[in-house]
Copies of this chain bind each other. A is one copy, B any other.
């Protein structure tokens, strides 16, 4: 005969999720909504997660503290926002000249990435799950053309803090501004340049109207991964069925967020170029100088930060192996396709 159904101890569980993002970023904020919807559906309505935009419960950058202190059960965030607490957070998201989106997923799901990051996040009472990727971001909007590394001296650049640190030796003055303040600052010339995400999100904020030069690639985030950060006691209190639902809902959110960016960026790029935006690659000497600067920072961090060192050693080895493999069949296929009239 059939086995008896397993008893579910946790009827009508409720969690609060704090997102680091505003509702206007439908791709990213929408990923947390998809996650909550999935958990609700799979549990037959028994496990409800309410999703709160940045600032509703805690500020955008307060989500790690909130999960650590169990103010909220779960957060959806970009771990590199917590560079100031420890740069090791960035290895679970993106570091300059790091892994691309597929490589990051490979490191997480089949390499040592998830295991190593969980060891690190345990200090913050966090159990994490990958929760989306934007793909390689753009390098940002520049009022003036950058012809060589000399042109970035004195440049006030609103950027990712790790990118700012890499560029400081060359005279960049990194700026920190919330998304909503970038447009007026760029319009007035209070800042010279700003990077945000990519065509789909950037078009909404209208940066093309106040800065004509759109540079690529965003080498400081070649495949930034978002995460769900769960308070460890909230996690441990879950029954196995709920744990498995969380894992699967996060995985579905992970793949769907990348799909949304990949599907929506091309029409946005077309619209930007149609309205006069000039697409430009960073000059070779900027790329090379930044790469060397980044590698020096990684060596320095490894010498003084044991958490960084432990994760970085595995990450760097994986990065080297991945780039050898990807340059054969993947890159050759893509390059051929990109050079055809389709």
Contact = CB atoms under 8 A, between A and B. Distances in A.
Main DSSP-derived SS at the A contact region: helix
Nearest to A219: B333
A333 B222 contact: yes
Interface in A325-342: 325-338, 340, 342
Nearest to A6: B44
A332 B67 CA distance: 37
A277 to B, nearest CB: 12
A265 interface: yes
Contact of A329 (B97, B111, B216, B255): B216
Interface in A1-60: 2-3, 5-6, 8, 11-12, 38, 41-46
Contacts of A41: 240-241, 243-244
B329 A218 contact: yes
Nearest to A337: B323
Interface in A287-342: 287, 291, 316, 318-338, 340, 342
Interface of A: 2-3, 5-6, 8, 11-12, 38, 41-46, 97, 100-103, 105-111, 135-139, 198-199, 216-219, 222, 239-241, 243-245, 247-249, 251-252, 254-256, 258-260, 262-267, 269-270, 279, 281, 287, 291, 316, 318-338, 340, 342
